[in-house]
Amino acid sequence: MSPSGERWGPYPLVLAGAALGVLAIFLVDTEWGGFALGAVFLVAAAVRFAGYGGALAVRAKNIDVPTLAVLGAALVVTALFLEYPDLKARLLALFGQ
């Protein structure tokens, strides 16, 4: 087994960031809390991709990384659409709809 610090790996950092993101959603601002939570998921995907799994490694790396990245990107894009409504119109105009 690896040293005691590696068993948990980056899991406490991701968990603390996710908890702060959820608190920000409820107490501060829905848009920026969602953005922060999405950013935490993207950081978790990057950390998992780099090989630092620890308790963050739930499944195989090729399942964990895309799942975390897609969820994080979806939260970030949704938060940006909520904060800047004209961004959605510009994006739709870019794709010709």
Indicate whether 20 belongs to any domain.
Answer: yes
* pLDDT of 49: 87
Please give the Cα distance from 55 to 57 (Å, whole number).
Answer: 5
In the chain, the number of structural domains is 1
Report pTM.
Answer: 0.79
pLDDT, tens only, 24-68: 989 998 888 999 999 999 998 998 888 777 766 777 778 888 998
* pLDDT of 56: 67
Which has more pLDDT, 85 or 39?
Answer: 39
> What single letter denotes the amino acid at residue 14?
V
Domain with 39 in it: 8-94
Indicate whether 75 belongs to any domain.
Answer: yes
CA 90 to chain centre: 24
Indicate whether 19 belongs to any domain.
Answer: yes
Indicate whether 3 belongs to any domain.
Answer: no
Indicate whether 2 belongs to any domain.
Answer: no
Given a contact cutoff of 8 angstroms between Cβ atoms, the answer to whether 29 and 59 are in contact is no
